Amino acid sequence: MYEYVAGMKGLNTTDRLVLSKIVFLDNGQNHCYAHNRRFASYLNVTRATISKSINKLIRLKHVEIVRYINGEERVLKHCLPLKES
């Protein structure tokens, strides 16, 4: 999976790390629930950087929003064609 994400065009390092973390947190449940502050803390960047990256991933159709919670939190799922191993 990491090789697949690393080879994706049009993504910077932060985008790739965020996408990899979304896939990891998905854990086969077909969704990921995490606050931007959790991603920001994990990657040592600002929440604004995470928001920009997630919005880019959504725009490029690598991630989609499953639902909003409280108007701020998002449940995300990746849209990558990954094979189960």
pLDDT per position as a tens digit, 46-84: 999 999 999 999 999 988 887 766 665 666 777 776 655
Please report which confidence band the pLDDT of residue 85 belongs to, taking 50, 70 and 90 as the band edges.
very low
Mean per-residue pLDDT of the chain: 82
Q: What pTM did the predictor assign? A: 0.80
Q: Which of 55, 74, 54 minimizes the C-alpha distance to 66? A: 74
Q: What is the pLDDT of residues 20-43, one digit of tens each?
A: 888 888 877 777 777 888 889 999
Give 23's contacts (C-beta < 8 A, 6+ positions apart): 1, 5, 32, 78, 80, 82
Residue 62: both structure tokens together: 């690598």
Q: What pLDDT does residue 45 have?
A: 96
